[in-house]
Amino acid sequence: MVLPPQYGSPEPAPKQGWFPTAYTILFVLVIVMAALTWIIPAGEYERAPNSALGKDVPVPGTYAQVEAAPQGFVEVMLAPIAGFYDPASYSANAIDVSLFVLIVGGFLGVVTATGAINTGVAQAMRRLEGREKWMIPIMMALFAAGGTTYGMAEETLAFYVLLIPIMIAAGYDALTGVAIIMLGAGVGVIGSTINPFSTAIASNAADIPFTDGMPLRFVILGLSWLAAVAFVMRYAERVRLDPTRSLVAALKEENEAHFLQKHAPEAGAHLTAMQIVILILFAATFVVMVWGVSSQGWWMAEMSALFLTSSILIGTLGWLGEKVFTNAFVEGARDLLGVALVIGLARGIVIIMDQGRITDTFLHTFEGWITGMSQVAFVNALFGIEALMSFLVPSTSGLAVLSMPIMAPLSDFAGVDRDLAVTAFQTAIGITNLVAPTYAVVVGGLAIGRVPYNTWLRFIWPLLLILTVMSMALLSAAVML
C-alpha cells in the first residue's frame, strides 16, 4: 500500500464555502452576547461557600437585580484575550488547554519525523484489510469509557491527528475520524456514571450521593453508545463504497495531503526495530496520560510535561539531531496553532456574560419557567433548560456548580427525585456539547480534523434528534415508575 505524498509540503488553501469559519462564528457570538448585556437586566444570586465543592454556589431564592454592566467595544476586544486566563472562569484556564494542544502538535511532529507512524499505518492497513470497520466500535467504546469515568474531553484533542490518518488510509474520510472521537467520548459524558466533573460535582451540589440514579445512567450510556456506533458505521460504510458521498468529499485531496505523511513508505515496507520501540513509546504516552488524569489528579500542566518528555525521548531514540528535532517540533506545533487560538476565542463568550452580569439572569428566568410544573413536564423542561444553559456555560463542572443548587431544590417541589435532576442535567449538557460552538473541545476537534462546523451540523443532526428523544423518553419513564 502506497500512501499519498504529503504533509509539511506546501499545500493548497482550503476551498472556501459560503459558511463562515469557526473564528468568525465565535467572534460574532461574542458581539451578540455583548449586545445582550445592554438589553437583558443584570442580576446575581447571593453565593455561599460549599466545602464539598470548594467553590461558592448560588443560594436559591436570593436573585436580585444589580447595577448593569453593559459590555462595549473595548470589552469585546479584550474578551478573547481574557478567555485564555480569566481566573473567575468556571473551568480551567484556556491558556493551559491551548499550550497542551501546541505541545501535542510538537510531539506528533517529532514522531512523524522518525517515519514510524508512516510505516506503522501502512502496515496496519495491510493487516486489517477487509476488517477496518471494526475499528469503529472498538475505538468508540474506549473513548466512551473515558467519557463516563472521568469526563474525557480536552484530552481527546491529542488523538485526532493520530486517528484521522488511519481512517483516511482505510478508505473512510476525516469526518469519520472526528466522529469516532467526538461521539465516542461524548456519549460517555451523556451517560456519565462516575465522572467526577459531571456526575460527582452535580450530585454534591444537589446534596445527594453520586451513586443515586446509577442504573438509569448505565441504560442511557449503553443505548447512546449503540445509537452512535450504528450511526457512524453506517456513514463510514457509505463513504467507503462511494467516496463521493462523503460530506467532506470536496476536501478529499486536501485532507489526504494534510493528514497522510509526506514520506510515504513504499508498498511492503516494514517497521524497523527502532520504529517499533518508538511506536511503543508513542502509545505508552497516551496510556500514561489517561492513567495520570484518571487516578493521579493530573491536568494540563502534567500532561503537557509528559508529551514534552516523550518528544525529547523519541527524538533522541530516532537520532534526529538537534536541528531536525527542533524544526519538527515547531512545525508540528504550528499545525495546531489555529486550534489553540480558537479555544480562547470560544471562552470569550462566557467572559462577556459574566462581566455583563447576565449569566444569573438567564438562570433566574429558567427557574421561573419550570416552577409549578407536573413531574413529567418538570424533568423534561429541566432537560431543555440545562441544554440551553450549556450553550452559554459549556463546562460540565461549571454549569453543575451554577445550576444544581437552584434546580435540585425545585425538583423537590415538583415531586421529582434529585438524582433524576442530576441525570437530566448531565444528559442535556452531554448532548449539547456535541455541537456547542462555545465548547472548545468541539471547535478545537473540528479545526484539527478540518471539518467545517456547518458540515458537522449537517452530519450529526439526525443522531442529536435520536439521542434527545431517547433521553427524554427514559427520563419520563423514570419519573412515572
Per-residue pLDDT of the chain (481 residues; tens, 9 = 90+): 333 333 333 334 444 455 677 678 778 888 998 999 999 999 998 888 877 666 777 887 888 999 999 999 999 999 888 877 765 554 456 677 778 878 888 887 888 788 777 677 667 666 766 677 888 998 899 889 888 887 778 778 878 887 888 888 888 999 999 999 999 999 999 999 877 778 887 888 888 888 888 899 999 999 999 999 999 999 999 999 999 999 999 988 888 888 875 444 445 567 788 888 988 898 888 788 878 877 787 877 888 899 899 999 999 988 888 888 999 899 888 877 877 777 777 778 878 988 999 988 988 888 888 877 889 999 999 999 999 888 877 778 778 877 888 888 888 878 889 899 999 999 999 999 999 988 888 988 998 899 999 999 999 999 999 999 999 999 999 998 8
C-alpha–C-alpha distance, residues 264 and 419, integer Å? 53
The residue assigned the cell 480562547 is 344
Tell me which H or E stretch contains 56: strand 55-58
In b/e form, how buried is each residue of 282-295, taking b as 16+ CB within 10 angstroms? beebbebbbebbbe
CA distance readout (Å), 301 to 155, 162, 223, 307, 422? 12, 21, 35, 10, 30
Among 450, 118, 404, which residue's Cα sits nearest to residue 260?
118
Tell me which H or E stretch contains 335: helix 322-335
The number of angstroms, rounded, from the C-alpha of 289 to the middle of its chain's C-alpha atoms is 17
Taking the CB of residue 262, how many other CB atoms lie within 10 A of it? 15
The number of angstroms, rounded, from the C-alpha of 349 to the middle of its chain's C-alpha atoms is 17
Among 244, 206, 135, which residue's Cα sits nearest to residue 424?
206
Q: In the numeric block, which cell numbers belong to residue 331?
A: 512545525
Entry pTM: 0.74
